[in-house]
Amino acid sequence: MQYGYFDDNSREYVITRPDTPYPWINYLGSEDFYGLFSNTSGGYCFYRDARMLRLTRYRYNNVPTDAGGRYFYLRDDGDVWTPSWMPMKSKLDRYECRHGMGYSRIFSSRNGLEFYQVSFVPLRDNCEIHKITLKNESKIDKYIDMFSFIEFCLWNANDDMTNFQRNFSIGEVEVEGSRIYHKTEYRERRNHYAVWAVNVPVAGFDTDRQTFLGLYNGFDHPDTVFKGESNNSIASGWAPIGSHHIKARLAPGESQTYVFVLGYCENHENEKWERSGTINKKPANTLLEKYGSPDAADRALAALNEYWKNLLGRFTVDAEDKKMARMAGVWNQYQCMVTFNMSRSASYFESGIGRGMGFRDSNQDLLGFVHLVPERARARILDIAATQFPDGSAYHQYQPLTKRGNNEVGSGFNDDPLWLICGVAAYIKETGDYGILDEKVPFDNNEALADTLFIHLKRSFDYTVTHTGPHGLPLIGRADWNDCLNLNCFSKTPGESFQTTANFESGIAESVLIAAIFAFTGPDYAEICRRTGRNDEAQYAEKSIAAMIEAINNHGWDGRWFLRAYDAHGKKIGSRECEDGKIFIESNGFAVMAGIGTNDGRAQLALDSVKEHLDTKYGIVLLQPAYKDYHIELGEVSSYPPGYKENAGIFCHNNPWVTIAETKLGRGNRAFETYTKICPAYREDDSDLRRMEPYVYAQMVAGKDAVRHGEAKNSWLTGTAAWTFVSISQYILGVRPVFDGLMIDPCIPSTMRGFSVTRRFRGADYHISVDNSAGVEKGIKSIMIDGNPLDGEALKKLTLPAFGDGKVHKIDVVMG
Ligand code: GLC
Ligand code: GLC
C-alpha cells in the first residue's frame, strides 16, 4: 500500500495520510542550523551539533512514537484539534504533508477551518520559520484560539535527558510581548539563547510545561488549550516551554497568516547583558525584524527554492523509468546533502548524542556530494584530514562543533586511512583542483604537526603498506568497513562496546576487504603522484599495489569467491570451509570494482556466487549462512540475530559495490537489477512492509533469515546514499568524472532505449543524450561533441575534455 506519491514537478513527496508506517521525516537546514521534521510536525532542531546545542527537546523511543515537535493547537468554538494530526490524532477532513527540498508543508482542515503550515530554515540564518495560515472556509464567523507549543532542551541533549537533579532547578526564560526567550545557563558560561516568537500581538503565553499541560497530561491534552486561555506562566526550573496564545476572528472566506520564528542567538562575551539579569536581545531583534512578515518569509522560501533548483541543476536525468529518474535526479542527491551535513549524528535512529562525524563515513559521503558544492567538500576534506595521526591512522570519529578527534572511540579501524585517498581523489576528479594537495593540514589537530595534504595521503597509503599480516594482507585492527567484524576483540563482558574495548593487536587477523579497497583506491593515489610530478612515489605505489593484488590472488581467493578475512588464529572467514559466514558481499564487490579477476573469469564467478548465495527479492544480504551463535573470535557481527544488521541483513551500503562491479563486467541488466532492489522508489507500494520513507535509502533491510524480511530500518544517514548515487550516475548512466575530464561509459539494461543527463562539470554544462536503440548493455559506437565526432585517443578513453568555458555543450552518444 502507498501512503503518498512523488510530485516530480515540485520535487516533493506528498504524504496523503498521517498514520504512515513510521514517521516519515525531512531535514530542514543547509549549513549550520538544522531541524528534523516529521510528517506530523514532530522532531527537533539544533545549531551545528545535535548533542551540544539542541534547541528543542525530543524523546527517542517514546510512547507514542514521535511525540514532541512544533505544535499548533486550534480551538474552534470549543472544538480542540491539532492540524498536524499528532499529538491529538485529531480526525481531519483533509490532510496532506509535502516534504520538499529543505522545507515541509502541512495542509489540513476540519469543520471548515483550513490550516496551512510551511516550515523551513532560511539560507544563512540560524532559525526555523513556520509560516501558518488559517482560513475560514465555512459560512459563519469563526472565533479561533491558536496555541503554539515547543519544549526547550537545556542545550546539552545528553545532560538534558540524564541530569535531572541539576536540570530541574536551572531552567530560565524571559518574555517580552510575543517573544519568548530561553536562557538556561546564560547566566554563567553560555553566550547563546533561543527565541520563539510570532509576528503578531498575543493574548497570552506560557513557558512552564506543567502549567500549560497539567502534570498528568500528555501533549495530546493540554489543559490550557481546553480551557481556552493562557496562564502567562514564567518557568523557573523544571521544564521550560514556549507557547503563544493567538486569538483570531475570521469571517467566511477570510484568512490570517502568522510567522513563527524559532532562532538561535549568540552574543559576544562582553555584550551578553542589556542590564543586570536581562539578556541582550539585539541579535534576536535583528533576526525577528528580518522575518517579521509573511512576505519576508515567502522571499526566504523562494531563495531556498532557487538554491536547490541550482544545486540539482548540476546533475539532471531524464529517462522513461521515472522511478530511476526521480531518485537519481532529485532524492538521492538530496539525501547525499543530508548525509554530508549530518554524517551519522541525528536522525530518527541516531540520537544526535552518540556519534559525531565518522572518518570513513564522511569521506564516503563526499562521493555523492562533491558535485553539488565542491568548496564545502574541500573544506570537509581538510577537517577530516586534521584528525589523522602522524602514522597515517586516524580518529574514527570527530565532533562537528570542535572538529577534534573523539578520544572515547579512538582509532584502530584499519580501513579508515584509505577512505581519505578515496575522498580526495573524487574531489580532484570533480574539480581538477590539485592545489588542495599543497594545503597545510595538522595531524592530530596539532598545528605543530602540520604537513601538506599530499603527505596525509602518503601516510594513509603507507599505513596500509606497513600494516600487513602473515599473508601480506592488511591487518584489520578493531574492524574494517564492517564495524562488526571485531577479530581482535574477544569480548565476554555484557554491554561492552565491541569497537572500543581494550583490543589486543594480534598481528594476525587480516582483511581481504582492506586489501581490495587498497587495490581500488591505490591507483588513484599513484595517478595523483604522476600528475604532480612525483614519479618515484608513483612507481613505489604501483609496486605496492601489485604486491597487494598478488596477496589477494594467492591468499584471498576461495575457489568460487573472494575470502573475507583471516581471524586472529589465522582461520579463514568467508570460506566454503566455514560452517556459517561462508560468503560475504563486501570483499567480492570491492575486489571486482578494483578489477581483480576480470581477466581470468574469477570476477564473474565471484559475482555469480554473490547472486546465487546472497541475493534476495529486496537486495543482497551481507553474508550467508547467517551466524546462529555468538562467536567470540568474530565479535559483534555474530551478536545480531540472523538477518539483521551485519549478520546477514541487507546492509544497503555495500549493494552498490556489487552494482558497480557488475558494470565492470558489462552486465547492465544485472547491475540495474541490483540497483532497483534497494531503491526506495521501487518499493513505494510496499510501504507496509518496508515502513521507511519511499524517498530515501535506509541503512538496512531485514535479510531472508529475519522474521520481517524486507522491513527497512535506519533511514537517511547511511553511506548507501553516496554509493548508490555513484553507482547510478557514474557507472550505470556512466557519466563519470576522471582526472582527464568527463568519461561517458554507460552500462544499462538492454531494454533501456536511451536517456539523457545534464551535468555541470568544471565550469561547463554537458547536455548528454544517449541512444541505445541497438539494445546493448554496454559499448559505445560514437560520441559527437557539438556536432563533431570524438575520435582517436579521446574516443578510446571515452573521455570528454573539461571545457571550462562556461558554455553548454551538446553531447550525442550512440551505444552499440
Ligand atoms: C555503519 C557505520 C559505517 C560502517 C557500517 C558497516 O553504517 O556508520 O561506518 O561502515 O555501519 O558496519
Ligand atoms: C554497528 C552498526 C554500525 C555502527 C557500529 C558502532 O556496526 O551497524 O552502524 O557504526 O555498530 O556503533
C-alpha cell at 139: 459560512
Q: Is the CB of 361 under 6 A from ligand 1?
A: yes
Q: Which of 106, 104, 97, 107 is nearest to 121 (CA)?
A: 104
According to the model, what pLDDT value does residue 568 have? Answer: 97
- For residue range 385-444, list pLDDT tens digits in order: 999 999 999 999 998 888 888 888 888 999 999 999 999 999 999 999 999 999 999 999
User: What is the best residue among 355, 414, 416, 483 to mutate for testing ligand 1's pocket, by most ligand atoms within 8 Å of CB?
Assistant: 483
List, in sequence order, every beta strand (DSSP E) within 226-306.
240-250, 255-266, 273-275, 278-279
With b meaning 16 or more CB within 10 Å and e meaning fewer, what string describes 227-255? eeebbebbbeebbbbbbbbbbbebeeeee
pLDDT band at 341 (very low <50, low <70, confident <90, very high): very high
Assess whether pLDDT exceeds 90 at residue 557.
yes
Q: Which of 631, 500, 619, 643 is nearest to 565 (CA)?
A: 631
User: What is the best residue among 360, 361, 397 to mutate for testing ligand 1's pocket, by most ligand atoms within 8 Å of CB?
Assistant: 361
β-pairing, 741-744 with 780-785?
unpaired
* Residue found by looking up cell 526564560 in the block: 173
Region class of 461: left (phi > 0), else alpha (psi between -120 and 50), else beta: alpha
Assess whether pLDDT exceeds 90 at residue 814.
yes
* Cβ atoms of 468 and 554 closer than 8 Å: no
Phi first, then psi: what are they for 260, rounded to 5°?
-95, 135
Assess whether pLDDT exceeds 90 at residue 232.
yes
Cα 232 to Cα 223: distance, rounded to the nearest angstrom: 14
* Cβ atoms of 567 and 573 closer than 8 Å: yes
Q: Is the CB of 397 under 6 A from ligand 1?
A: no
* Cβ atoms of 144 and 76 closer than 8 Å: yes
Distance 567 CA to ligand 2 centre (A): 20
In 432-472, alpha helices (H) = 453-466
* Cβ atoms of 349 and 713 closer than 8 Å: yes
Cα 578 to Cα 572: distance, rounded to the nearest angstrom: 7
Cα 620 to Cα 724: distance, rounded to the nearest angstrom: 14
pLDDT band at 131 (very low <50, low <70, confident <90, very high): very high
- Closest ligand 1 atom to Cα of 483: 12
- For residue range 240-259, list pLDDT tens digits in order: 999 999 999 999 999 999 99
What is the number of H-type helices and E-type strands within the chain?
A: 21, 44
According to the model, what pLDDT value does residue 445 have? Answer: 95
According to the model, what pLDDT value does residue 354 have? Answer: 82
Q: Is the CB of 480 under 6 A from ligand 2?
A: no
Distance 653 CA to ligand 1 centre (A): 8
Phi first, then psi: what are they for 98, rounded to 5°?
-115, 115
With b meaning 16 or more CB within 10 Å and e meaning fewer, what string describes 694-728? bbbbbbbbbbbbbeebbbbbbbbbbbbbbbbbbbb
Cα 396 to Cα 233: distance, rounded to the nearest angstrom: 46
0.85 exceeded by the pTM?
Answer: yes
With b meaning 16 or more CB within 10 Å and e meaning fewer, what string describes 555-582? bbbbeebbbbbbbbeeebbbbeebebbb
Q: Is the CB of 483 under 6 A from ligand 2?
A: yes
* Cβ atoms of 731 and 661 closer than 8 Å: no
